Amino acid sequence: MSPPDDLLLPRPAVSVVVPFAGGPEEASRVYAMLTSLQTRPGDELILSDNSAHAPAPPERVQRVIAAGERSPGHARNRGAAQATGDWILFLDADVQPPMDLIERFFAVPIAARTGAVTGDIAGVPDTSTLAARYATARNFLGQRAHVNHPLRPRASSANLLVRRAAFVAIGGYTEGILAAEDTDLIWRLAGAGWGLEFNEQAVVHHAYRTSLRALGRQWRGYAAGARWLSERYPDFKPDPGLRRGLRLLLHRFGIGAGLSVRADGHSAPAATAITRRDRILFLAVQVYLAIEEQIGLRLSNAADGGGADGGAADHRRLGRWRRR
């Protein structure tokens, strides 16, 4: 759907690209999400199917088969290769965007040397399980702290607007990996002289994992990606949860500086107040995730390029990439 012409301000064409690795039922939900977005003539809606299991799309959506390697970077690159817009808006398959998300990104002028703009990511309020309550309260995909990091700003591709000229100039996402491809993209953009902006109005909602096992697999994937980043960028060192927890504990006794930058990227408030019982349970979850993180730091971040069924072992080990 599109807003009335007399309400529109000039903006460049945008190609929305969503990587996908699910089945027909999940594809139907993603198609509904895409077609709910307000678009203008020249805009594009692209689903990049990395599983080859999505059904035929509705009229407004292009379906691109991302055959070969099963990874988010590969799927995004295949979708972006079909894009013709001046900007590419990357969204994850499990986010819930407002209908006017594209307009919100352009409500504030974007600087000429800005290569990417990220909007915030807020958790969908969910108190059904301990894992959901923890993830929603912590909102670790919130973008404000990540973008404002004093040393190496970064952003998630779950809600990321990228200038197509900049994207093409650096060769798109790094392929062959399962995690951290979005951080790597932002850092390579910065290395090429492109800036990163934060648009606090362009917010999407994200449903966090509802089981501790799934949350643990996600943490393993993050840790494997962090180790890969440390090998690619020598000035970056992973800061595992056990180390952060020790620094916080020492800081409470007046030893050390604690944490200068929040590690969880929290920027949206919790949907509900945290009870004393949940505070205790959340501490136990943090310990569990810190252990999973230590395991992840010892795992490979490599994606196996084996077609639609390739990389099965990696995906079982690190969790399905489409739910970031």
Confidence of residue 321 (pLDDT cuts 50, 70, 90): very low
- Between 264 and 257, where is the model more confident? 257
Average pLDDT for the chain:
85
Give the pLDDT score at 72. 95
Cα angle 154-116-26, degrees, rounded to a multiple of 5:
85
φ, ψ for residue 93, nearest 5 deg? -70, -20
Average pLDDT (268-274) is 53
Q: Are strands 87-91 and 159-163 parallel, antiparallel or unpaired?
A: antiparallel
**What is the tens place of the pLDDT at every residue in 258-268?**
444 443 334 44
- Cβ neighbours for 309, distance < 8 A, ≥ 6 positions apart: none
Average pLDDT (272-291) is 86
Give the pLDDT score at 265. 39
Give the pLDDT score at 177. 96
Average pLDDT (18-43) is 96
Confidence of residue 149 (pLDDT cuts 50, 70, 90): confident
For 145-181, b/e burial (b = at least 16 CB within 10 A) is bbbeeeeebbbbbbbbbbbbebbeebebbbbebbbbb
Q: How far is CA 260 from the centre of its chain?
A: 23
Give the pLDDT score at 324. 41
CA distance 99 to 32: 11
Give the pLDDT score at 3. 55
In three-state form (DSSP H/G/I as H, E/B as E, the rest C), the secondary structure along 261-294 is CCCCCCCCCCCCCCCHHHHHHHHHHHHHHHHHHH
The least confident of 81-85, 101-105, 232-236 is 232-236
**Structure token pair of residue 59:** 């009229």
CA distance 298 to 226: 11
Give the pLDDT score at 238. 75
Residue 77, classified by CB atoms within 10 Å of its CB into exposed (0-12), middle (13-18) or buried (19+), is buried
**What is the tens place of the pLDDT at every residue in 93-124?**
999 999 999 999 999 999 999 999 999 999 98
Residue 185, pLDDT > 80, answer yes
Domain parsing of the chain, residue ranges: 14-318
Contact by Cβ (8 Å): 299, 223? yes
Percent of the chain with pLDDT over 70: 81
Give the pLDDT score at 6. 47
Amino acid (one-letter) located at 314 = D
Give the pLDDT score at 266. 42
Residue 64, pLDDT > 70, answer yes
Give the pLDDT score at 62. 96
C-alpha distances out from residue 311 to 50, 262, 314, Å: 12, 33, 5
Residue 252, pLDDT > 80, answer no
Just give the CATH number of 14-318: 3.90.550.10
C-alpha neighbours within 13 Å on the C-beta side of residue 234: 0
Give the pLDDT score at 181. 97
Amino acid (one-letter) located at 116 = A
Contact by Cβ (8 Å): 164, 43? no
CA distance 72 to 92: 9
Average pLDDT (243-266) is 48
